[in-house]
Amino acid sequence: MSSGSNLRSQDQFLCSICLDVFTDPVTTPCGHNFCQTCITQHWEVNFPFKCPLCKELFTSRPQLGVNTFIREMVAQFRHEAQQEASSSSSAAKPGEVPCDVCTGTKLKALKSCLVCQVSYCQTHLEPHLTTPGLKKHQLMEPVENLEDRMCLQHNKPLELFCRTDQTCVCSLCSVLDHKNHKFVPLREESEEKKAELKKTEAEVQKMIQSRRVKIQEIKESMKISKDAADREKAEGVQFFTALKEAAERGLEELIKEIQDKQKTAEKQAEDFIKDLEQEISELMKRSSEVKQLSQSEDHLHLLQSFSSLKAAPPTKNWTEIRVHPPSYEGTVVRAAAQLEQKLWEKMKKLLDLNRVQQCAVDVTLDPHTANPWLILSDDGKQVHCGNKRKKLPDNPERFSHCINVLGQQSFSSGRFYFEVQVKGKTDWDLGVSRESINRKGDITLSPQDGFWTVGLRNRNEYLASAGPPVCLHVQPGPEKVGVFVDYKEGLVSFYNVNAAALIYSFTGCSFTEKLYPFFSPCLNDGGQNSAPLIICTVNQPDRCSYNSSRLNLLVKNRQSKRR
């Protein structure tokens, strides 16, 4: 018999009073079946006599007839169930409670009886399921050391909880050793303790969750810290690389200056030496002629030649001529001063950039303004030109022809700043625009038309759309562009963030309506310009403030030294 059929058969043979398999089944006049003991005890305490199931009322206690058919079916069911249990039973494994009755191989216990203090397997548990006297025993899930569940003093099951002494006791303890104490059944106290444990578990889970959140916060903080450290290192490398290059150029210029002075001095000395050697040669020739003439015995020749030899040769007066070594005094100092000036200019640029970065705002792209060719990222931070025009409603805010998109945020006062990565692109335009700009058809980027932008064309041609456009000399080309606006002052400035250098400024602007960040990634040019424009996270304000304070301190120190 399968376990499935066992379950179905057991459901058919359950007494509705004891909810167990029938024992000596009997049938009432109304046709319902009960255990003989169950229905007899039921009618002994309940009057008038009614059927527990259909509530049919009997004028006198009905005569009960033994239902032999059900009795035989129950007997068959018990026999088959016992066979199945015996065939499926297995020896108790380590950690499992063994049957205390089995001899030889100990089978796994299914229940433990607190009254008998014995654990039973399926076979040996049968009497507790069928014998009326044993059916009243208290069964529980199998446990070892049943003696621990018995009162050591009275040898009775521990079935009460003394709340006064906070201990488990038996029924005799409640009237003897714990008289006048407050008692509750173990189940009741256990349920309360379970409720407390559930509350404790909820609190523990809440603590665990809060700590997990804290771990996430710490991890996020460390990520921010690492990103800040990476940016700081990158800026440090960039700054000191530029400083190193400036120092190397200064050293080269210093060495060249010294070498040029030395070469000039050497050339002068060489010229003097050459003249002196020429005169020495002439004098030696004259000395030879004088010596030869002085030894001549030809008196006539001597007298005729004497007048020409007696005349002094054309010589310079070398008494006052000196070769002065070039003066190098102050050369190194001047080179150091020039290097300091270059460093100072670099620091001022960095200070200026840090000041405007403190005005950073969060900018996201507005899909309602995006040209249908544009593809925006889900977070609204990236945009590039796709290969297919999307079918979008031609609402008034949308650019219908030009490859443009605006930011969602608008500004009508104060100062604001944002940064955009342009790395890998061959063409782009960035800046701000008025709210009332034309968004349909061809558009001219100029302040007169409500646009203040700079852009790139053909990889290396930078221009400011100032109407007429202004060609810009930007070397090296920026990988990240910062856009700063001072609404009140009418100023729009663009920065090469990596070089901490100003690219261009629109000054004297007159703003009278809302300004929106403006972006144009331009056409993708067959994939040559497919890189996106990316709105970047600007350095944290506290870090900018730190850099500004640090540079301001350097300013004060420099001014103090000059005084």
To the nearest 10°, the Cα dihedral for 414, 539, 543, 340? -90
3-class SS of residue 441: coil
**Token duo for residue 18:** 């004891």
Give the model's pLDDT for residue 229: 83
Give the model's pLDDT for residue 548: 46
Give the model's pLDDT for residue 310: 63
Q: Please, which residues have CB within 8 angstroms of residue 97's CB and are 6 or more apart in sequence? A: 108, 109, 112, 119, 142, 143, 144
235 versus 427: which is more confidently predicted?
427
- CA dist., res. 503 & res. 413, Å (int): 23
- CA dist., res. 190 & res. 182, Å (int): 15
Give the model's pLDDT for residue 421: 96
Give the model's pLDDT for residue 419: 96
Note the pLDDT tens digit of each residue in 155-165: 777 778 888 88
Mean pLDDT of 263-271: 88
Residue 536 clears pLDDT 50, i.e. is over it? yes
Q: How far from the centroid of its chain's Cα atoms is residue 394's Cα?
A: 38
- CA dist., res. 341 & res. 133, Å (int): 108
**Token duo for residue 461:** 């041609």
Residue 213 clears pLDDT 50, i.e. is over it? yes
* Residue 509 burial (CB count, 10 A): 17
3-class SS of residue 428: strand
To the nearest 10°, the Cα dihedral for 27, 32, 33, 36? -60
End-to-end CA distance of the chain: 108
- CA dist., res. 506 & res. 483, Å (int): 11
What element of type H or E holds 184? strand 183-185
Percentage of residues in the chain having pLDDT higher than 70: 88
Residue 504 clears pLDDT 80, i.e. is over it? yes
Give the model's pLDDT for residue 498: 83
Give the model's pLDDT for residue 384: 96
Give the model's pLDDT for residue 456: 96
Residue 465 clears pLDDT 90, i.e. is over it? yes
368 backbone φψ class: left, alpha, beta (φ>0; ψ -120 to 50): alpha
E-state strands within 338-406: 374-376, 382-385, 405-406
To the nearest 10°, the Cα dihedral for 340, 346, 352, 354? -110
Give the model's pLDDT for residue 207: 93
Q: In whole numbers, what is the pLDDT of the chain averaged over residues?
A: 83
3-class SS of residue 328: coil
Give the model's pLDDT for residue 4: 44
391 versus 103: which is more confidently predicted?
391
* Residue 422 burial (CB count, 10 A): 21
Note the pLDDT tens digit of each residue in 163-190: 888 888 887 787 787 877 888 887 888 8
Give the model's pLDDT for residue 543: 41
Give the model's pLDDT for residue 417: 95
310 versus 462: which is more confidently predicted?
462
- CA dist., res. 383 & res. 527, Å (int): 14
- CA dist., res. 70 & res. 23, Å (int): 10
Residue 542 clears pLDDT 50, i.e. is over it? no
Give the model's pLDDT for residue 257: 84
Percentage of residues in the chain having pLDDT higher than 90: 32
Whether 70 and 22 have beta carbons less than 8 Å apart is answered as: yes
DSSP-assigned beta bridge partners for residue 471: 463
- CA dist., res. 212 & res. 295, Å (int): 119
Rounded to whole angstroms, the maximal C-alpha distance in the chain is: 197
- CA dist., res. 427 & res. 529, Å (int): 7
Give the model's pLDDT for residue 557: 53
Residue 82: pLDDT band (50, 70, 90) is low
- CA dist., res. 246 & res. 339, Å (int): 7
- CA dist., res. 506 & res. 465, Å (int): 10
Question: Picking from 441-450, 492-501, 550-559, which range would have the lowest pLDDT averaged per residue?
Answer: 550-559
Residue 545 clears pLDDT 50, i.e. is over it? no
Whether 66 and 24 have beta carbons less than 8 Å apart is answered as: yes
The CA radius of gyration of the chain, in Å to the nearest whole number, is 54
Note the pLDDT tens digit of each residue in 469-503: 999 988 888 999 999 999 999 999 999 988 888 89
Mean pLDDT of 252-256: 87
Q: Please, which residues have CB within 8 angstroms of residue 85's CB and are 6 or more apart in sequence? A: 121, 122, 123
Mean pLDDT of 6-34: 78
486-506 burial code (b ≥16 CB/10 A, e <16)? bbeeebbbbbbbbbbbbbbeb
- CA dist., res. 240 & res. 346, Å (int): 11
Whether 409 and 529 have beta carbons less than 8 Å apart is answered as: no
For 85-114, the three-class secondary structure string (H helix, E strand, C coil) is HHHHCCECCCCCCECCCCCCCCEECCEEEC
Name which of 367, 379, 382 is nearest 534 in CA terms. Answer: 382
How many helices (H) and strands (E) would you count in the chain?
9, 24
**Token duo for residue 154:** 């009275």
- CA dist., res. 415 & res. 418, Å (int): 11
290 versus 505: which is more confidently predicted?
505
Give the model's pLDDT for residue 482: 95
124 versus 382: which is more confidently predicted?
382
Residue 315: pLDDT band (50, 70, 90) is low
To the nearest 10°, the Cα dihedral for 332, 338, 344, 346? -120
295-325 burial code (b ≥16 CB/10 A, e <16)? eeeeeeeeeebeeeeeeeeeeeeeeeeeeee
E-state strands within 105-177: 111-113, 118-120, 139-140, 160-162, 167-169
Mean pLDDT of 437-450: 94
User: Is the bond leading into 372 cis (omega within 30 degrees of zero)?
Assistant: no
- CA dist., res. 522 & res. 113, Å (int): 85
Alpha carbons within 13 A on the beta-carbon side of 16? 10
What element of type H or E holds 33? strand 33-35
Mean pLDDT of 385-406: 94
